Structure 1
Amino acid sequence: MPIYEFQCQACGHRFDRLQKMADPDPETCPSCGEPRVSRQLSAPQFRLAGGGWYETDFKKDGDKKRNLTEGSSGAPAAAPAPAASPAPAASPAPAAKSSD
């Protein structure tokens, strides 16, 4: 069930409510009792990140995972390649002094 955010237009009290999508919104404010409650638009509390969605993340090791963001040709979506940095030139090691 989703969590909805509400605010009373009379007193400014903000509250959350866990309810089914088909349930009616609350009509009265739990703080002041006024019938001026409205649903607020708020950002979700999660973020989807990563390289894509997989058919399943619970396949056996021998099964091939298929990235669902790949096109029909099976090629992954174009992503910028990381810039290759040249390897630093090796400097000669300092010679050890010999004590006589």
Structure 2
Amino acid sequence: MPIYEYECKSCGHVLEALQKMSDKPLVECPKCALPELNKKVSAAAFRLKGGGWYETDFKSGKKKNLAGDAGSSSNSSKSA
């Protein structure tokens, strides 16, 4: 479940809430009890980097590492 960040427009209170994507956004501030919460846009708590499991898993033979094969041929043409 994602963690959403909220800020109250009335009192400025900031909070995080663990919610399902299908849950309705929170509206009532737990600090001042006014319906002034606004969902903030924030960065994800994780970052995807690297070749990824899908590049190397569940493949056999010469298809085992497609990213490495493409990278080595482009590197050799750059160095020549």
Q: TM-score, normalised by structure 1?
A: 0.57
Aligned equivalents of 2:31, 2:22: Cα separation in 1: 24
- Greater percentage in helix: 2
Give deviations 1:6-42, integer Å, cap 9, x for gaps: 0000000000001111111111000110111110000
* Structure 2 stretches lacking a partner, 5+ long: none
Q: Looking at both structures, which has the greater relative contact order when contacts are Cα pairs under 8 Å and sequence separation is at least 6?
A: 2
- Structure with greater Cα Rg: 1
* Structure 1 stretches lacking a partner, 5+ long: 85-100
Identity %: 37
**Residue in structure 2 matched with residue 76 of structure 1 by the alignment:** 70
Q: TM-score, normalised by structure 2?
A: 0.69
Structure 2 vs 1, CA of residues 16 and 79 (structure 1 numbering), >3 Å: closer, same or farther? Answer: farther
User: Does residue 54 of structure 1 match 2:53?
Assistant: yes
